[in-house]
Structure formats: structure tokens, C-alpha cells
Amino acid sequence: PQSIGQRIAFLRERMDMTQQDFAEMMEISRGKLSQIEIGRNEPNLALLQKIVTKCSTSYEWLIDGKGDL
């Protein structure tokens, strides 16, 4: 996945979660998640930290696609 939004969508799909379920887990609206996934919005630092923690992924992969998932 090329963009941070695409990587978030990839991670969500890999976890077999709907946008609604993932958004609830991250404590954001489904609309906000959708906007992030399509690249219209950028996730804030607090959201990035939640994704790294709750999804057991690396910050480096999430930010720039490098390293291990």
C-alpha cells in the first residue's frame, strides 16, 4: 500500500473488520476513517498511536511503508 490511508485500510481488511468496527475500536467516526483511507484526511498522532498499539503493527510501516507490518 502506497499511502498511510491505504496502509490503514490494508491493516483493517487484514483484521477482517468493517470500517464501522475498526472506527469504533479506534474511537473515531466511520466517516473520519473513510476520509483517512481515501486520503482526504490525515490521521493525527493519537490515532496513529492507537493503531500501532491495538493492531500490533510497527509505527515505521504505518507511517512510510518500510519495515515489517
pLDDT of residue 67: 87
Average pLDDT over residues 3-14: 97
Whether 11 contacts 57, CB under 8 Å: yes
Residue 63, classed as helix, strand or coil, is: helix
| Residue the block writes with cell 490511508 | 5
pLDDT of residue 69: 82
If you average pLDDT over every residue of the chain, what do you get? 96
Reported pTM: 0.93
> Rounded CA gap, 52 and 43, in Å?
12
> Rounded CA gap, 14 and 4, in Å?
15
Q: Is pLDDT above 80 for 1?
A: no
Average pLDDT over residues 15-41: 98
